[in-house]
Structure 1
Amino acid sequence: MKAPDFDFVVLGSGIAGLSFALQAAAHSCVLVLCKSSLSETNTAYAQGGIAAVLDPTDSFEQHVQDTLEAGAGLCKEMAVRYMVQEAPAAIEWLQGIAVHFDEAASGDIALGLEGGHSHHRIVHVKDHTGRSTQQALEEAVRRHPNISVQEFQMGIELLTDTSNAGTFCYGVQVLDLHTQEIRSIPAQAVVLATGGSGQVYQYTTNPGIATGDGLAMAARAGAEVQNMEFFQFHPTSLYQTNGEVFLISEALRGAGAELVLPDGSHFMHQYHPLGSLAPRDVVARAVLTEMQRLNSPCLYLDVRHLPPGKVQQEFPSIYHKCSTIDIDVTSQLIPVVPAAHYQCGGVRADLHGRTSLNRLYAIGEAACTGVHGANRLASNSLLEGVVFAQSAAEQAVRLLEQSPFIPAFAIAENSPAYWWPGMQAEVFQCRARMQRLMWEQAGIVRSVSGLMRCEAQLKVLQQKVKYITSLTGIKQEVQELQNLLTVAELITKAALARRESVGGHFIVEAQTDRLLSENSMIPQVARK
């Protein structure tokens, strides 16, 4: 048998995938596969920043406790402590690959504040931290001689086998989105860094590529998943009627913006002592509750009281976006609505990214390391991506050195991919129905009866998509829908299994459920 061309295959090109690639490439050959272009990732859309204890008056213990409190007691404390302690080194490493974080007047790194944090500790690049970090990582990856990048390649299934030592992963089956060719790529280990699955919901801040591909592949291969009931909804997505999605960073509230009702009055302190800076699950439910009470399509962020020029200078992306839809933030309120934002659960992974399948690693949003528990603390996600990617790379390289193996070499396969007018519309309709179903029955507020209805209707959709697949073969649109339905089923089953409300999982009693069914979950807004 021929040895594989690459030691490690990484699916995903966000902060987790590229951090792993750069660390592992010092000792091995790495292939990075991405479903779209290298730069189209969830990371690139992250605005706020990266949490790290850099101020002498702050402490690791405070960051740990803030994280545990946000996670509603369901975090893995050992994982949280590891991440927090590694944060300063992660920031230094990112600076080393030319991420230029904002500086304070003293010359030190400027530190912002976000909801749930007891101290200023958010390292940032204006309000486009993710995009700046993504660009620096890309440039470093493109330069590295041991890293190959193949764009527009979609993972279809993991290649697994079973031995006396259990099930192990020896590669991945991939669809070339340009040629429609299917091929199998062998590797010493496979790394899932495919991001989240926000597209499972009708309203989301996630880009179109966030269809839970890695998570779905891992689940189908038998890998353990965890905490799927905990999906974080961001309370402040810009409300627009043209269907475009744009996130209004929580950092804006950290800088002093206040959530207000349509008449401009404050309301958040009725729900939490921290007001507009309460944990995201609390804020999202409060915004939803007030929207329902007032029968309003949105609520508002008020930045009119901030110093002149502050938003334009510190949040240029938000300022520019608002100006393009004729909102002058210095004199007008910013309309906002909640939207699905971050998957707190995922493929169960340890401190080194190892999953329940040998030689399969999961990092970033696709993984569940336990650091987020029932609700992610703001700006811990990019941090988690770097810290656990580096830890996974170190362990994977040791595995390569200690017990290399030659997986079976697979040849290219052809995909039938039959497609005709009308089929794409059918797939789109199924996807829209699933997204609406998940938003209404498994969204910000849930009920047992609603979740049971959701589960039953998902089964109907799964059967329909199975039939479509038998006709079309493997096509991107159909495969993404299959993956989303897999994720939807995992979320629904996990939500039904947990009957108490905690963190991002809020379940109502029967009488409230009746009222919700009579008065829709949320006023409908035009949104992709």
Structure 2
Amino acid sequence: MKVPDFDFVVLGSGIAGLTFALQAAALGRVLVLCKVNFSETNTAYAQGGIAAVLDPTDSFEQHVQDTLEAGAGLCDEAAVRQLVQEAPAAIRWLQGMAVGFDENESGEMALGLEGGHSHHRIVHVKDHTGRSIQQALEEAVRRHPNISVQEHQMGIELLTDTSNTGTFCYGVQVLDLHTQEVRSIRAQAVVLATGGSGQVYQYTTNPGIATGDGLAMAARAGAEIQNMEFFQFHPTALYQPNGEVFLISEALRGAGAELVLPDGSRFMHLYHPLGSLAPRDIVARAVLTEMQRHHSPCLYLDVRHLPAGKVRENFPSIYHKCTTIGIDVEKQLIPIVPAAHYQCGGVKTDLQGRTSIERLYAIGEVACTGVHGANRLASNSLLEGVVFAHSAAEHVAGLLQEQLETVPDLATEKNCVGVLWPGMRAEIARNRAKLQELLWEQAGIVRSVKGLTSCQSKIDALQRKVKGIAYMTGIQQEVQELQNLLTVADLITKAALARRESVGGHFVMETAHEGQQSRYKSILVDAPESGIQALF
């Protein structure tokens, strides 16, 4: 048996990956691989906060029920209960990692409110909670002698083999994005913490690194994938004609902001009793519908009625961004549009983060723990990253007591990187943009069977085309990312076609009930030249 290079290899440096690394480092040597730099993660862009029952008037049962309701009844209740019950301990652990959550005037933890929650239970650091957590965990990781961090390393393929008990993972093949060298790393266990895949859509709040790399690797290795039809679209991304997407946190609506039409009138009460704080899938569809109804490129958030200075003090990042583009939020409406935000499905795991492949774990957004069901409840995602990273770290302790299966010798690797000339690079970029527009139009907020069927056919054709490009170029970051996005698109479309009923974030015109159909019928999902694309 070959000696592993590390005990644990973690792909991804967001909240889930770093939490696991810090826990597992007490057991053995941990390597954290980052696709770009250490700090560039989905976590760093999270604004709102973390949900936890900390108020005596709140209860675990109410948090559970809020999560199940937001998930449209398709959540795994056992996973939800584990998430909710371990939330207070997760908050205490983060405080122990030097995360300074906001406090109220009494010196107690300040608790915000977001859509779908029946109580104030969102702990936060202004409107940059994710960035503050990222910085604190990074500092702890850098200080730990058992954790190594390697930046600009892109996972290419999982190393797997079979035994009497099934397929197991013994390492990962990576591409060094600086040297362009390909190498393989052995480990007792591999942990996918690669985040989501928002870049499969034309408009997304996700950073450029969110190309579904871990999900695609797991799918190619044969891991079970679940619930990919449920992609959450955030209803309030800042509208900018240049196409840049900036998230406007739901916490702003929790603080009293209201969604309004171009004339300043409120409308969300027509769609849901909770109005502007309804679950995100409902709000996103409502916003899209009213944009189409009013032939408007955007709708608006109104914060003008809030106390003077409240946005500037409690939401400094949002206030600063609006100011830089000439919007005085105390006097003007904030223009917003929906954008792809969160992948509710992913690599199926159990409550310890185990996938269907032995010694392969998945945590965070790349995983499907069953917590989110058909639609994620606000501020449950950072929490999920901490809770299930802890569970996975507890489980891997037992692996070190077991002998790793005999695995094939790794042959001396050749540099599999070819030449990517300018014309080919431009062709890859065109195909990526074509895919993103295709998914936005036909597998986005509102879908149809006809549109999804057409989408699948076009994905198949693009996959054949890109396979030929990959054959000519060898392993290249741009080509690999496009292949991963195509894998994700294929998973989304096939899952959407398989689930014909409308539920949560998966809305199919043909199967929506009559009232829904009449309300959303103005959205033309089958005509890209006159449909959703025209709204941007």
Scaled by the length of structure 2, what TM-score is found?
Answer: 0.96
The letter of the residue matching 2:149 is V
Deviations along 1:302-347, one digit per CA (max 9) or x if unpaired, are 0000000000000000000000000000000000000000000000
* Partner Cα separation in structure 2 for residue 119 and residue 309 of structure 1: 25
- 1:469 equivalent to 2:478? Answer no
Mean CA deviation greater in 401-410 or 259-268: 401-410
> What residue number does 1:370 align with?
370
CA pair 201-523 structure 1, distance change in 2 beyond 3 A: closer
The letter of the residue matching 2:502 is S
Equivalent residue of 1:378, what SS? coil
- 1:522 equivalent to 2:506? Answer no
- 1:439 equivalent to 2:448? Answer no
Deviations along 1:99-156, one digit per CA (max 9) or x if unpaired, are 0000011111110000000000000000000000000000000000000000000000
| Deviation of the 1:409 alpha carbon | 5.4
* Partner Cα separation in structure 1 for residue 220 and residue 263 of structure 2: 50
* Partner Cα separation in structure 1 for residue 33 and residue 476 of structure 2: 17
* Partner Cα separation in structure 1 for residue 532 and residue 261 of structure 2: 16
* Partner Cα separation in structure 1 for residue 400 and residue 15 of structure 2: 23
> What residue number does 2:328 align with?
328
CA pair 515-7 structure 1, distance change in 2 beyond 3 A: closer
Contact 1:297 1:523 in 2 (8 A): no
- 1:482 equivalent to 2:483? Answer yes
Contact 2:446 2:525 in 1 (8 A): no
* Partner Cα separation in structure 2 for residue 80 and residue 6 of structure 1: 32
Contact 2:45 2:131 in 1 (8 A): yes
* Partner Cα separation in structure 2 for residue 122 and residue 514 of structure 1: 34
Contact 1:127 1:249 in 2 (8 A): yes
> What residue number does 1:154 align with?
154
* Partner Cα separation in structure 2 for residue 521 and residue 61 of structure 1: 42
* Partner Cα separation in structure 1 for residue 417 and residue 248 of structure 2: 43
* Partner Cα separation in structure 2 for residue 449 and residue 238 of structure 1: 31
| Deviation of the 1:413 alpha carbon | 3.3
Equivalent residue of 2:150, what SS? strand
CA pair 150-406 structure 1, distance change in 2 beyond 3 A: farther
Structure 1: 5+ residue runs without aligned partners?
Answer: none
The letter of the residue matching 1:448 is V
CA pair 242-86 structure 1, distance change in 2 beyond 3 A: same
Contact 1:4 1:407 in 2 (8 A): no
Deviations along 1:333-372, one digit per CA (max 9) or x if unpaired, are 0000000000000000010000000000000000000000
The letter of the residue matching 1:68 is L
> What residue number does 1:420 align with?
421
> What residue number does 1:311 align with?
311
Contact 1:188 1:406 in 2 (8 A): no
Equivalent residue of 1:168, what SS? strand
Contact 1:268 1:275 in 2 (8 A): yes
The letter of the residue matching 2:460 is K
Equivalent residue of 2:304, what SS? coil
Contact 1:269 1:275 in 2 (8 A): yes
* Partner Cα separation in structure 1 for residue 467 and residue 384 of structure 2: 36
Identity of aligned residues (%): 79
The letter of the residue matching 2:174 is V
Matching of residues 274-313 of structure 1 within 5 Å: 274-313=274-313
> What residue number does 1:91 align with?
91
Contact 1:18 1:141 in 2 (8 A): yes
Contact 1:308 1:330 in 2 (8 A): yes
Mean CA deviation greater in 509-518 or 114-123: 509-518
* Partner Cα separation in structure 2 for residue 394 and residue 426 of structure 1: 46
Equivalent residue of 1:111, what SS? coil
* Partner Cα separation in structure 1 for residue 310 and residue 403 of structure 2: 55
The letter of the residue matching 1:206 is N
* Partner Cα separation in structure 1 for residue 327 and residue 361 of structure 2: 45
| Deviation of the 1:294 alpha carbon | 0.7
Contact 1:111 1:124 in 2 (8 A): yes
* Partner Cα separation in structure 2 for residue 495 and residue 265 of structure 1: 35
The letter of the residue matching 2:315 is F
Runs (4+) off by over 6 Å: none
Equivalent residue of 2:340, what SS? strand
| Deviation of the 1:414 alpha carbon | 1.1
> What residue number does 2:199 align with?
199
The letter of the residue matching 1:270 is L
The letter of the residue matching 1:29 is R
| Deviation of the 1:523 alpha carbon | 4.9
Deviations along 1:421-442, one digit per CA (max 9) or x if unpaired, are 2111100000000000000000
Contact 2:236 2:249 in 1 (8 A): yes
> What residue number does 1:56 align with?
56
Contact 1:3 1:407 in 2 (8 A): no
Contact 1:232 1:504 in 2 (8 A): yes
The letter of the residue matching 1:522 is I
CA pair 275-143 structure 1, distance change in 2 beyond 3 A: same
| Deviation of the 1:253 alpha carbon | 0.1
Contact 2:53 2:59 in 1 (8 A): yes
Equivalent residue of 2:10, what SS? strand
CA pair 144-448 structure 1, distance change in 2 beyond 3 A: same
Matching of residues 18-417 of structure 1 within 5 Å: 18-404=18-404, 407-408=407-408, 410=410, 411-417=412-418
* Partner Cα separation in structure 1 for residue 404 and residue 156 of structure 2: 25
Equivalent residue of 1:446, what SS? coil
* Partner Cα separation in structure 2 for residue 501 and residue 277 of structure 1: 21
Contact 1:109 1:123 in 2 (8 A): yes
* Partner Cα separation in structure 2 for residue 516 and residue 88 of structure 1: 43
| Deviation of the 1:520 alpha carbon | 3.0
Contact 2:71 2:375 in 1 (8 A): yes
The letter of the residue matching 1:517 is D
Contact 1:296 1:523 in 2 (8 A): no
Scaled by the length of structure 1, what TM-score is found?
Answer: 0.98
| Deviation of the 1:401 alpha carbon | 2.3
* Partner Cα separation in structure 2 for residue 86 and residue 142 of structure 1: 26
| Deviation of the 1:405 alpha carbon | 5.1
The letter of the residue matching 2:244 is E
* Partner Cα separation in structure 1 for residue 229 and residue 51 of structure 2: 25
Contact 1:205 1:245 in 2 (8 A): yes
| Deviation of the 1:244 alpha carbon | 1.6
The letter of the residue matching 2:360 is L
